Amino acid sequence: MDALIIEATDETPKVVMDKGANEFMFAGKSLPEDVSSFYEPILNWLDSYAEAPNDSTKFIFDFVYFNTASSKIILDILFKLEELKESGNDTTIVWKYKEEDEDMEEAGEEYSEIVDVPFEMVSY
């Protein structure tokens, strides 16, 4: 399975979906003009990954900001990770946030209450 790597821009996060390296990460800002077209390849990649996932999957979310439209897609991604866990995969979410960023900390806490996947909250 080919890795999906998207470099960050001023409006979109860096995305790393690399099954071979067992590295899965979002980092930066997410406020793309067209949220659906930006995230569609990521959602499709996750669907393919779910067919033959690694034994253990750790997803790192390190957003500094995301808009309302992105928050819905992030939840869709988290639901896909929940399905992965429910199918027997060892799945963990690491939610990173700057120590002083209460909004991002709160977002992680809210997401952790919605999906049934182990969340590690990590401040830096």
Q: In this structure, are residues 88 and 58 in contact, taking their beta carbons and an 8 Å threshold? A: no
Determine the average pLDDT of the residues in 29-55.
97
Rounded Cα distance between 94 and 81, Å, is: 12
Q: For the chain, how many structural domains are there in total?
A: 1
Identity of residue 42: I
Q: In this structure, are residues 12 and 30 in contact, taking their beta carbons and an 8 Å threshold? A: yes
Q: Per the confidence metrics, is the pTM higher than 0.85?
A: yes
Q: 61: pLDDT confidence band, cut at 50, 70 and 90?
A: very high
pLDDT value of residue 28: 98
Q: 100: pLDDT confidence band, cut at 50, 70 and 90?
A: very high
Q: 48: pLDDT confidence band, cut at 50, 70 and 90?
A: very high
Its domain, for residue 113, covers 4-123
**Roughly what angle, to the nearest 10 degrees, separates helices 68-86 and 102-114?**
40
Q: In this structure, are residues 44 and 73 in contact, taking their beta carbons and an 8 Å threshold? A: no
CA dihedral 70, 81, 57, 124 (to 10 degrees): 40
**CATH assignment of the domain containing 55:** 3.30.750
pLDDT value of residue 104: 97
